[in-house]
């Protein structure tokens, strides 16, 4: 039987992870994400799992990657400053195809910025923050329910594609308390094990190799250096490097429409809001207060890889409006994929767009 | 089985320069692992970045060649998530003491059940001979062209103070002693640290009047002093020479440790 609870977003994140079978959490305290670590510290030791508070965020993500190679579902949670520290090892997880989940409860930046205020300022950092070309998956919850559901889902995506997956939440959702339904159990799709006799870094039909868990007799060598399909360093052959990086990118990008997770409202509308995370709530309020078939809404739960085809579901669209708690990071991506005008509605400072602000914008339409 | 059975033959030839001390340290470590009777499948080698850190790539077990300085943090995750695995870390003086210094002291403090073999060649070998936190005062490197001015770290002393259960230092000349020390480290639950002073003829010796490999080995042989001897001299009130590097076992204790298989 599913049950109804009243819960904080960060707690729901931790509970979603536990429901998905997360067995390892390595972290370092940082506002506004700390409640996730605290909840894991209480819960994991009682569920045969491991909680460890590391010396910094570089060590946290390193420990998570190490744990993942033993087959454990592993995660960390942080916010801006810690997220920046993790970048080198996130690239390592990409290169070594290590499944793991990284939760970023975003706060105002740059630097120490606004520790207690929400933001969506790390949306491009999670896409491009580590060096080199790569592609990963980023989810964005807009409610406490989605915090639970999407965190659980992040583990499945991490295992299926063997990539680090980001749950790009923020202070607003992390600290909101609302009613959620805890399902009986969540769907769990774990990594496909490496078949004996196959090469550990040869992509299957989907570009994803089987996973050679440590301690199972695979004798696998894992390196962040460019490597061949055996996993052996081959750092000067241009073809080996190009083939590897292209596979790493395309295993994610080629699945972007297949894994797209979204809501579409009023597909015949001329003016279309595109949102992810907290501004979704403001738009829903506007549409609830004044139902109008001329106003559409595309709500993305997965932002990266960007499912650009969804924009074309709005066949009558004349304008896209993208409210974000940053200076227009995903609006740029929308612009890249349409010839129609894209209105970016940036908001800095930690407060959510009010429904009134968005309504004024609609009223100003020609 | 002999220690040679642990090598990944299809990866040879290796990248090490002629006369490099790293090969000796790897052999000693594998000999010690072999003595433990551990299965290849239950053993994991982990390293950071540097010449020394390339070692796991030549060994048959599962291995994780990680990012510069972070091997111990990765190893902490592996060991805590699966304590059944025997985890051995190879690192260098730059990897461990410069960029990885924070992880080093915290891994010692946690006393996590790992064995760490540090190939201390007193230089950044892989990047071509820049000064490291272990470059002796006065030594020439590409970034200390007038002689290193900063005092060097004593890695073993650091490990003892930070809480490791087992700490020993030997050199690539002292093959038997080094092998025994690694084995003692593998046997001791908790954090074991074995520092192996090694010759790097290419990036260190060449610039420091130790042109021949034999000069460097001679230096490692004659510039050390046994901890027992220091002890005796101290008891007799004799002055302890400060130009010699203490070698031997510094600590073997049984403080509470993390990640030990129950
Ligand atoms: C973050 C980062 N900074 C710098 C480097 C460049 N780098 C590679 S190896 C190395 C020094 C290695 O020195 P040490 O650990 O003593 O190993 P050795 O080569 O002497 O065995 C450096 C600085 C790097 N790979 N990553
Ligand atoms: S540079 Fe020095 S440490 Fe590196 S392989 Fe050559 S001799 Fe060995
Ligand atoms: Mg060195």
Q: How many Å apart are CA A286 and CA A360, to the nearest integer?
A: 10
Percent of chain A with pLDDT over 90: 98
Does the pLDDT of residue A233 top 90, yes or no? yes
Atom 1, ligand 2: which residue's CA is nearest? Answer: B125
* Model pLDDT, residue B133: 98
Residues A60-68, mean pLDDT to the nearest whole number? 99
Fold classification of A263-363 is: Rossmann fold (3.40.50)
For B13-252, the fitting CATH number among 3.30.70.580, 3.40.50.970, 2.40.30.110, 3.40.50.720 is 3.40.50.970
* CB atoms near residue B67 (< 10 Å): 24
Distance CA B194, CA B115 (A): 8
Report chain B's mean pLDDT, rounded to a whole number. 96
What does the pLDDT read at residue A71?
A: 98
Architecture, CATH, for domain A3-182 = 3-Layer(aba) Sandwich (3.40)
Closest to B134 (Cα-Cα) out of B105, B97, B108, B170: B97
Q: What is the dihedral of CA B35, B38, B43, B45, to 10 degrees?
A: 0
pLDDT the model gives residue B4: 82
Q: Is residue B51 within 6 Å of ligand 2 at its C-beta?
A: yes
Ligand 2, atom nearest to B121 Cα: 3
* CB of B22 closer than 6 angstroms to any ligand 2 atom: yes
Residue where the block lists tokens 């972290």: A27
CA A81 to ligand 2 centroid distance, Å? 36
Task: Please give all residues whose beta carbon lies within 6 A of any atom in ligand 1, as ranges.
Answer: B 49-52, 68, 92-95, 119, 121, 123-127, 132
- DSSP β-ladder status, A137-139 and A221-223: unpaired
Query: Across the interface, do B81 and A72 touch by the CB < 8 Å criterion?
Result: yes
* Peptide bond preceding A72 in cis form (omega within 30 of 0): no
> Model-level pTM?
0.98
> Does the model's ipTM exceed the 0.95 cut?
yes
CA distance B11 to chain A (A): 8
Rounded distance between C-alpha atoms, residue B106 and residue B154, angstroms: 16
Ion ligand 3 nearby residues (CB, 5 A) = B 92-94, 121, 125
pLDDT reading at B224 higher than 90? yes
- Closest residue by CA, ligand 2 atom 2: B200
- Substitution target in A51, A101, A214 with the highest count of B β-carbons within 10 Å is A214
- Residue whose C-alpha is closest to residue A362's, from A313, A312, A314, A291: A291
A70–B78 CB contact, under 8 Å = yes
Work out the pLDDT band at B125, boundaries 50, 70, 90.
very high
Residue A1: the pLDDT is 81
d(CA A45, CA A36): 14
The dihedral region occupied by A328, where left means phi > 0, alpha psi between -120 and 50, and beta the remainder, is left
Q: Which helix (H) or strand (E) holds B182?
A: helix B175-187
pLDDT digits (tens, 9 = 90+) for A107-131: 999 999 999 999 999 999 999 999 9
Given this model, what pLDDT does residue B70 score? 98
State yes or no: pLDDT of B13 exceeds 90: no
User: DSSP of B129-179, one letter per residue?
Assistant: SB--TTSPTT--BTTBTT---SPPP-HHHHHHHHT-SEEEEEETT-HHHHH
Residue boundaries of the structural domains of chain B: 13-252
Contact B80 A217 (CB under 8 A): no
Backbone angles phi, psi at A321, to 5 degrees: -115, 125
What pLDDT is stored for residue B12 in this prediction?
84
Q: Is the pLDDT of residue A366 over 80?
A: no
How far is it, in rounded angstroms, from Cα A164 to Cα B181? 39
Report the nearest-CA residue for atom 6 of ligand 2.
Answer: B17
**Which whole number is the average pLDDT over B37-57?**
97
pLDDT tens-digit map of B102-120: 999 999 999 999 999 999 9
Contact A66 B46 (CB under 8 A): yes
């Amino acid at each position: 039987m599913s049950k109804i609870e009243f819960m904080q977003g960060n707690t729901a994140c931790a509970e979603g992870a536990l429901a998905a079978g997360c067995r390892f959490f390595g972290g370092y305290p940082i506002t506004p994400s700390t409640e996730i670590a605290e909840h894991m510290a209480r819960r994991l030791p009682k569920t045969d799992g491991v909680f460890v508070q590391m010396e910094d965020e570089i060590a946290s993500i390193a420990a998570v990657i190490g744990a993942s190679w033993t087959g454990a579902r592993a995660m960390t949670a942080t916010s801006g400053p810690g997220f920046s520290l993790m970048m080198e090892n996130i690239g390592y997880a990409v290169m070594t195809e290590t499944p793991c989940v990284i939760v970023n409860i975003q706060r105002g930046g740059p630097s120490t910025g606004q520790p207690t205020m929400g933001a969506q300022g790390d949306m491009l950092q999670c896409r491009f923050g580590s060096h080199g070309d790569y592609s990963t998956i980023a989810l964005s919850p807009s409610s406490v329910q989605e915090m639970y559901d999407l965190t659980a889902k992040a583990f499945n995506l991490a295992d299926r594609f063997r990539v680090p997956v980001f749950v790009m939440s923020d202070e607003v959702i992390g600290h909101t308390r609302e009613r959620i339904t805890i399902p009986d159990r969540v769907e769990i799709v774990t990594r496909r094990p490496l078949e004996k006799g196959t090469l550990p870094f040869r992509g299957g039909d989907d570009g994803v190799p089987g996973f050679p868990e440590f301690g199972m007799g695979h004798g696998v060598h894992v390196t962040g250096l460019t490597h061949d399909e055996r996993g052996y360093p081959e750092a000067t052959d241009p073809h080996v490097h190009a083939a590897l990086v292209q596979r790493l990118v395309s295993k994610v990008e080629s699945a972007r429409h297949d894994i797209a997770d979204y809501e579409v409202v009023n597909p015949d509308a001329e003016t279309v809001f595109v949102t992810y995370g907290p501004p979704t709530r403001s738009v829903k309020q506007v549409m609830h207060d004044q139902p109008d078939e001329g106003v559409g809404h595309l709500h993305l739960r997965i932002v990266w890889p960007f499912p650009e085809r969804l924009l074309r579901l709005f066949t009558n669209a004349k304008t896209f409006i993208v409210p974000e708690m940053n200076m227009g990071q995903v609006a740029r991506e929308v612009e890249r994929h349409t010839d129609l005008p894209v209105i970016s509605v940036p908001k800095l400072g930690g407060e959510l767009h009010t429904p009134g602000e968005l309504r004024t914008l609609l009223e100003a339409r020609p | 089985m002999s220690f040679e059975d642990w090598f990944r033959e299809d990866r040879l030839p290796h990248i090490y320069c002629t006369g490099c001390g790293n090969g000796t340290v790897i052999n000693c470590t594998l000999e010690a692992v072999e003595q433990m009777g551990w299965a290849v499948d239950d053993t994991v080698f982990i390293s950071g970045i540097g010449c020394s850190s390339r070692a796991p790539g030549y060994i048959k077990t599962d291995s994780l060649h990680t990012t510069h300085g972070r091997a111990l943090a990765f190893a902490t995750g592996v060991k805590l998530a699966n304590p059944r695995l025997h985890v051995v870390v190879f690192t260098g003086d730059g990897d461990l003491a410069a960029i990885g210094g924070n992880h080093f002291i915290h891994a010692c403090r946690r006393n996590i059940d790992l064995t760490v073999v540090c190939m201390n060649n007193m230089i950044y070998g892989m990047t071509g001979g820049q000064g490291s936190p272990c470059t002796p005062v006065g030594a020439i490197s590409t970034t200390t062209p007038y002689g290193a001015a900063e005092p060097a770290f004593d890695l073993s002393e650091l490990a003892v103070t930070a809480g490791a259960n087992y700490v020993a230092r030997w050199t690539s000349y002292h093959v038997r002693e080094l092998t025994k020390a690694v084995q003692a480290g593998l046997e001791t639950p908790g954090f074991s640290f074995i520092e192996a002073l090694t010759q790097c003829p290419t990036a260190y010796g060449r610039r420091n009047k130790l042109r021949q490999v034999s000069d460097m080995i001679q230096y490692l042989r004659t510039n050390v002093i046994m901890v027992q001897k220091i002890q005796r001299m101290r008891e007799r009130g004799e002055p302890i020479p400060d130009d010699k590097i203490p070698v031997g076992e510094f600590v073997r204790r049984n403080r509470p440790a993390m990640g030990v298989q129950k």
